[in-house]
Copies of this chain bind each other. A is one copy, B any other.
Amino acid sequence: MTQLNVAALQLAFTDDIDENIANVSALVREAASEGAKVVLPPELFEGLYFCRTEDEALFANARPVETHPAVLAMRKLAAELRVHIPTSFFEADGPHHYNSLAMIDDRGEVMGVYRKSHIPDGPGYSEKFYFRPGNSGFKTWQTPGATLGVGICWDQWYPETARSLMLMGAEILLFPTAIGSEPYDEELDTSRMWRRAMIGHAASNVVPVVAANRTGDECGQTFYGHSFICNEWGDILAEFGATETGVLTATLDLDAARRHRAGFGFFRDRRPELYRRLVEDI
């Protein structure tokens, strides 16, 4: 039986990058000590969620994957603990800036970089100011435990992300996130829709999902946590509420998931010739 122990981290961040990396590192150690082989920190954990405002000075925090401090720290830790760490970071590449993820393997090597495909924009989430829409396309990563598929935050709302990753062989979908309150509508709590969209991906694709979100108040914006791990039915295996911090772990039975996925037959019965509109500019 192919079982894999996975972990999601939930915590709050400050404007002190060293402190943030130290806090994430402590939780990665805790997850590894509990047997996790894949440990998912939240999106852009190097600092505060800076897309709250549009400030050109902040582009200076972007770095190439080779020199980004969060990536370098996670590479060292991954090699030491023998875990995979999908590491979200603010990437600079020549004149371009991306919301990116380095898949770091259990030897501390960067397997490759995925650049966030779907970029949000709205009050409190001015990502279109900072990030060029990703040009990497979706990526999956073959690891000893499972083929991993990763989307970054806004990607997680898109059925196209989940389905594309599945068609590329993903056996687990992972989503690092930074999402919270909506400044334009203080009544609106999107946390339940956020979970429903991803649990919908689990059910429609018969695949386990891992989501890691930040928590805490940052300059009036409250990040709502609710990180979770669910199985291929969408049943929650481990979850946090809005303010808890720490490590979620769960053991996924990937053989059972594969068997259930085949038995359901969703992929057998797809009709790609009828899906033309999905790839048209409409």
Contact = CB atoms under 8 A, between A and B. Distances in A.
Interface of A: 117-122, 133, 137-138, 154, 157-160, 162-164, 167-168, 184, 192-194, 196-204, 233-235, 263-266, 269-282
Given A120-B265, A122-B263, A163 B199 contact: no
24 contacts: A118-B269, A118-B271, A119-B269, A122-B265, A157-B204, A158-B204, A158-B270, A159-B162, A160-B274, A163-B277, A164-B274, A193-B203, A193-B234, A196-B203, A196-B234, A197-B204, A198-B200, A199-B200, A200-B204, A272-B282, A273-B279, A275-B279, A276-B279, A278-B278
Nearest to A260: B188
Contacts of A168: 277
Pairs of residues from A and B, 10 with the lowest C-beta to C-beta distance, nearest first: A200-B200, A159-B159, A196-B203, A197-B203, A193-B203, A196-B234, A167-B277, A118-B269, A197-B204, A272-B279
Given A163-B277, A167-B278, A272-B281, 12 more contacts: A119-B269, A133-B271, A157-B266, A159-B204, A160-B270, A160-B275, A168-B277, A196-B200, A196-B202, A199-B200, A200-B203, A276-B279
A117 B274 contact: yes
B277 A164 contact: yes
B164 A278 contact: yes
B280 A272 contact: yes
Contact of A196 (B163, B199, B282): B199
Contact of A159 (B154, B163, B196, B235): B163
A160 B279 CA distance: 11
A192 B233 contact: yes
